[in-house]
Structure 1
C-alpha cells in the first residue's frame, strides 16, 4: 500500500477561534466516517497562535475521486458551512478564498 502524506495551513479568524475549537473538540462522527471510507487516515490538526496546521495520510488509489466524494457528502457540506467561516487564508501571498494552502514536503524520515 502506498501512503501519500498531505499537509495544509490556514489561519483561524481570531473572533471565531473558540467556535472552531469547540467544533473540533467533538467532530461529527459522520465526518470521521466519510474521511475514513475514502482512505483518509491519521488526520490531525494542530494550532499555534492563530494558525492551523493540518496533516493526513491518503491510502487509496484515486485521490481526486475520493476527495470529491467527501466534498459532495451532504453532512460534509454542512460541516464546512460551519467551519469555513472560522478560517482565512494563510500567508502574504494568500488571496481571498484560498482557504487551506497545501504545503510542499521538504524532508521525511520514514
Structure 2
C-alpha cells in the first residue's frame, strides 16, 4: 500500500461550488476511484489550498491512473472541478495536483 498526499490551490470565487460538488459526488466517479485501487480518500481545505490524501493498493499506479483518466464519467467530473483549481507553479511536469513528500507516518 502506498500513501499519497497532494496539494493544489482552489480559486477563492470557486470554493463554495467546489465544496458543493463534493457534498454529492457522482457515484460513477466514486466507483471508478475504487476500481483504480484507491481507498481512504479525503480532501481537506485550508487558506486557499486543497490537500488530498489517499491510499493506493494496486500494483500499477500509472496504468490505474490512465484507466481513470480515460473514464467518461471522470472526464465529465473533471470538467466541473478543474476550473475551480489552480495548480502550483512548483508541481512536477505532468502533474495537476502537486505530489507531496511524506515526512512522518505512525500506524
Q: Same fold (TM over 0.5)?
A: yes
Q: Which runs of 4+ in 1 moved over 2 A?
A: none
Conserved 8 A contact 2:91-2:97:
no
Q: What is the match of residue 67 of structure 1?
A: 65
Mapped partners of 1:18, 1:53: distance in 2: 16
Across the aligned residues of Structure 1 and Structure 2, the Cα RMSD in angstroms comes to: 1.7
Is 1:107 matched with 2:91?
no
Aligned length: 106
The two structures have a TM-score, normalised by structure 1, of 0.89
Cα distance between partner residues in 2 of 1:94 and 1:105: 16
Partner of 1:15: 13
Q: Give SS of 1:108's match.
A: coil
Is 1:80 equivalent to 2:78 in the alignment? yes
- 1:31 Cα deviation after fit: 0.7
| Aligned residue number for residue 55 of structure 2 | 57
Q: Could you list the runs of 5+ residues in structure 1 that have no partner in the other structure?
A: none
**Partner-residue secondary structure (3-state), 1:79:** helix
